[in-house]
Chains A and B, each alone.
Chain A
Amino acid sequence: GENVEQHPSTLSVQEGDSAVIKCTYSDSASNYFPWYKQELGKRPQLIIDIRSNVGEKKDQRIAVTLNKTAKHFSLHITETQPEDSAVYFCAASKNNDMRFGAGTRLTVKP
């Protein structure tokens, strides 16, 4: 089955700096790669996703890149703000079968 690895497990940045979280996946047939944000005590919520036919997608301060050949994808957050502090999960999906990475705890210091 699909195996998703996520790095780093924790990330601390200064407010205004950029944050990058990286994931790799094992199943080359995976075709959908969402990113979820989970704030403390809350449920995970989708923040951005990318499909396998696209190499990059951007939504305001958040961008995701996908390298299908290397089977890795990354989340980029620019101009980080304290409210970006949360746990971020990447995932890889094939035919609705989705597997999550272990998560990255991002802390943005004011």
Chain B
Amino acid sequence: GAGVSQSPSNKVTEKGKDVELRCDPISGHTALYWYRQRLGQGLEFLIYFQGNSAPDKSGLPSDRFSAERTGESVSTLTIQRTQQEDSAVYLCASSWTSLYNEQFFGPGTRLTVL
């Protein structure tokens, strides 16, 4: 079946503009995660959705970042008033709800803020 997909694959924007990144999880996966990965760096947790529960937003770096997910489907990550330090690859992952949950990652969106 289809894996996790993300769009766009690449996004170049100007400083100060808003961007919206999309993640389509694997069908049936109730958990969805967003991570940021700067060049050569680790996976920085941003936000976690679990079913209809309130999301864990503890990783969002500032109030310019927000994310939504409707039910157990598509999620969008929005970055307002982008800054150059927002440049990174944004990875989405999804998993089943279970005690032991392998996360399946999407290909990522490479964001470049000029």
A residues neighboring B (CB under 8 Å): 1, 31-32, 34, 36, 43-46, 49, 51, 89, 93, 95-103
User: How far does the Cβ of A9 sit from chain B's closest Cβ, in whole Å?
Assistant: 9
B interface, CB within 8 angstroms of A: 31, 33, 35, 41-43, 45, 48, 50, 56, 58, 91, 95, 97-103, 105-108
In the complex, what's the smallest C-beta–C-beta distance from A36 to chain B, in angstroms?
8
Contact B43–A32 (Cβ < 8 Å): no
List B contacts of A98 (CB < 8 A): 33, 48, 101, 103
Q: Measured between C-beta atoms, what is the minimum distance from B68 to chain A in Å? A: 19
Contacts A49-B102, A96-B95, A97-B56 supplied; 9 other A-B pairs, CB < 8 Å: A31-B100, A43-B107, A43-B108, A89-B42, A93-B101, A97-B50, A99-B45, A103-B41, A103-B42
C-alpha gap A35/B45 in the complex (Å): 16
Residue in contact with A51 in the complex, picked from B95, B100, B107, CB distance below 8 Å: B100
B50 nearest CB neighbor, chain A only: A96
The 5 lowest CB-CB distance pairs between A and B, nearest first, are A102-B42, A43-B105, A103-B42, A100-B43, A32-B100
Give the residues in chain B near A95, CB-CB below 8 Å: 99
Which interface residue of A43, A45, A98 has the most chain B CB atoms within 10 A?
Answer: A43
Q: Which of B35, B56, B102 contacts A46 (CB 8 A)?
A: B102
Chain A residue nearest to B6 (CB atoms) is: A43
How many angstroms between the C-alpha atoms of A80 and B45 in the bound complex? 30
CB distance from A59 to the nearest CB of B (A): 14
Contacts of B106 in A (CB 8 A): 43
Residues in B whose Cβ lies below 8 Å from that of A102: 41-42
Contact of B58 among A1, A34, A36 (CB under 8 A): A1
Contacts of B99 in A (CB 8 A): 31-32, 51, 95
Q: How far is the CB of A97 from chain B (nearest CB, A)?
A: 6
